[in-house]
A and B are shown apart, each in its own frame.
Chain A
Amino acid sequence: MKISYRRRILIFLLSVFCLSVLVFAMSRLAPGDPLVSYYGDRAERMSPEEKDRAMERLGLNESMVVQYVKWVKNAVSGDFGMSFKYKQDVMKVIEGRLVNTLILGGVGFILTFLLALLLGILCAFHENSWLDRIICKVGTITSCIPEFWLSLVLILIFSVNLRLLPGSGAYALGQSSSISSRLTHLILPMVVVVMSHLWYYAYMIRNKLLEEIRQDYVLLAKAKGMSRRRIMYQHCVRNIMPAFISIMAISLPHIVEGTYIVEMVFSYPGIGTLSFESAKYHDYNMLMVLCLITGIVVIFGNITGQAISEAIDPRMKEPEIMEVAADGSR
C-alpha cells in the first residue's frame, strides 16, 4: 500500500522523538558518575557542597523530565551542549569524526553492495558451475570470520610483518589533508568492512536471481530469442532491484555497526571510537548526539528504502485491480 510522503515524514519524526527519549532515559539511568568524566580525579576529592554546585552547573540536579525538555530546547537551536570529556562543543568534536566515518562506512557500504551485486550475478549466471561452487565455498568461509579477528590478522600481516600498510588511524600525523595518506589508511579497515558483509548479501542476491530465472517469463523471453545474458540484465536483475534496494536500506544499521567495530580495532578516529569512549566516560551529551545520529541514519535508511522500492516496482503503486476472483476457484 502506498504511504504518502507527509505520512512518511511524520513517521520519521515520531521515530526520532521516541528514540531521543529512549536514549536520554537510558544514558541517565546507566550506572557511573558523570562528574568523574568532567572533572577527572578532582571529582573524587570534592566536598559534597562542591559536588552539588558542580551538578547544578552541569544541569544534573533537576528531574529527568526537566533535563530532557531543556536538552530538546537547546538542541532545536543547534546547541547540543558540552562534551564532558573534551570540554568542547559536542558538535565540534563530532564534525571531524563524522567525516572519517562517512568515508569508511559510506564507501564501504556502497562497495559492499556493488561487489555483492556483481558476485551474485556472476554466480547466478554460472549456476552450479565450478566457478559458482568455488565462490560459494570461499564466500561462506569468509563470512564466518569475526571482524575483529580478521582485522587483527590483517594488521599483523600487512603492517607488522610486511610493513606495507598502516595499521591504525585515519592519516599519518599532520597529513590530514593528504589524500594518499588517507587512502592507504583506509585500505585495511575497508577490506574488513567489505569482506565481513559481502558474502551475506552476494548470496542473497544470487538466490533471488535464481528464483527469478526459474520464472515462466524467462522461458518466454528465451523463446522470443533473447540471449541468457540479456535476459539476466534486462529482466532478472531489473526485477530484483526493488528487493535489492530494500535489503540495502534495511542493512544500513548492520554495516554501520560493523564499521564501529572496525574503527575501534584500527583506532580509526570516527564515530564508532567516539561512541565507545563517550559511553565509557559517561559523556552524556556526546552519547546522546551519537545515538541520535546513528538512529536517524537507521530510520532514514528504512523509510527511504521502502519509498524507493515502491517507486521502482509498479505493482506497489496501485493496489491490484482485484476481480471478484476472490472466490478461490482458480
Chain B
Amino acid sequence: MMENKDILVDVQGLTHQFPMGKKKSIKAVHHVSFQIRRDEIFSLVGESGSGKSTVARCLMNIYEPTEGTIRYDGINLCDKKEREQHKTRLQRERQIIFQDSASALNQRMKTKDIVAEPLRIQHIFSEKEELDQYVRQQLEMVGLEENYLNRRPSELSGGQRQRIAIARAFGMKPRLLVADEPIASLDVSIQAQVIKLFQHLQEEHDCAILFIAHDLSMVRYLSDRVGVMCKGHLVEMGETEKIFQNPLHSYTKSLLSAIPVPDPALEKKRSSVTYDAASIWNTGIMVEAEEGHWVMQEEADHENLI
C-alpha cells in the first residue's frame, strides 16, 4: 500500500478473539490490516464494541492477537522471542495514553514522580538534577506550572490529569503514541486544549500517533488518515478529508450523518442515514476505490464468522 521506508507500524490480518467459556469465543477484531507512517496521526473511529481499543491494545502487546502479524519498525510484535530481544527499545518507543487517567495514574504518587518513573526505569538520566530538570521541562510543555510538581492526581481535574499522562508519554520521546480515547471524558473547552497539545507535541517530536476516538469531528480536525471500524471489521480507510467528504461504505455514511453539527439551521435540514450493522457479520475484502482510499466490499456469499 505504501512505501516501506515510511511505515512504522504494519498490521496485517489482525484477529483477536476473547474466549467465552470453553467452546465459544467472541471475535472482537476481525482481519484488520492497516499501516501507520512514521510522522502521521492515524485515527481509528467507531462505536463502542467496534474493536478499536482492542486493536490499540494488541499494538501495545497488552493483548496477544489470535491471528495476523503486527510489525513495528520491522520487529514482529507477535513473536515473543523477537519482542524480548528489543524489549527496552519497545518499552521506550511505544507509549500509551488511556481514556480514564484517574485510574491509569497511581493516585498516591506525586506528579513529578509519575513523569519521572519511566525515565528512571530506562536509566535515561544518570544525574538526579538532570532528571528533575527534564521532568520540570516536560510538565511545563503540557502547561503545568511548577506548583503542580508535588500534587497528586486526586487533587487535579480530569484535564490536568490527562496532561500528566501526556507529559509522561512524551517524556520518553516515543516514536509511536497510542492514545485510546484520550479526550472522551473531558469538557469541551478542555478537549480543545488537549487536542492542541497533541498536535503541537506531535509536530515537535515527529512521532506517529494512533488516535482512538468516537468523536468524529475531533478526528477530522486532528488526523491525517482515518480507519472506520464496525463490529470488529475495518470497513473504510483513507485520508481524512476523502473519507469525510466522500464516504463510500454505508456504515461510514450513517456514522457521519449521525454526528450532530453545531449549526442549528444546517442541523434541522439534515437527515440521518440508517445502516443495519447486522449485515457486517459477513466477510468482505478491502478494495481501493481511489488512490489511498480503501473500502470494504462485502462478498456475495455468506460466510458465518461466529
Q: Which A residues are closer than 8 A to B by beta carbons?
A: 322-330
Contacts and interface: CB of A to CB of B under 8 A. Distances in A.
B contacts with A: majority SS? mixed
17 contacts: A324-B27, A324-B50, A325-B49, A326-B18, A326-B49, A327-B28, A327-B51, A327-B53, A327-B54, A328-B54, A329-B50, A329-B52, A329-B99, A329-B181, A329-B212, A329-B214, A330-B49
B255 to A, nearest CB: 15
Given A327-B28, A329-B214, A322 B20 contact: yes
Interface in B176-199: 180-181
B26 interface: yes
Interface of B: 18, 20, 26-28, 48-54, 57, 99, 180-181, 212, 214, 231-232
A329 B53 contact: yes
A329 B26 CA distance: 16
Contacts of B212: 329
Nearest to A1: B21
B28 A324 contact: yes
A326 B26 CA distance: 9
Contacts of A330: 48-49
A324 B232 contact: yes
Contacts of B231: 324
B48 A326 contact: no
A225 B181 CA distance: 38
Contacts of B26: 322, 324, 326
A330 B53 CA distance: 10
Contact of A329 (B18, B48, B232): B48
A322 B99 CA distance: 22
Report, nearest first, the 8 A-B pairs whose CB atoms are least far apart. A330-B48, A325-B49, A329-B53, A324-B49, A327-B54, A327-B53, A326-B18, A328-B53
Contacts of A327: 28, 48-54
A327 to B, nearest CB: 5
A112 to B, nearest CB: 40
Q: Which of A322, A323, A324 has the most CB of B within 10 A?
A: A324
Given A329-B212, A329-B214, A324 B20 contact: no
Contacts of B54: 326-328
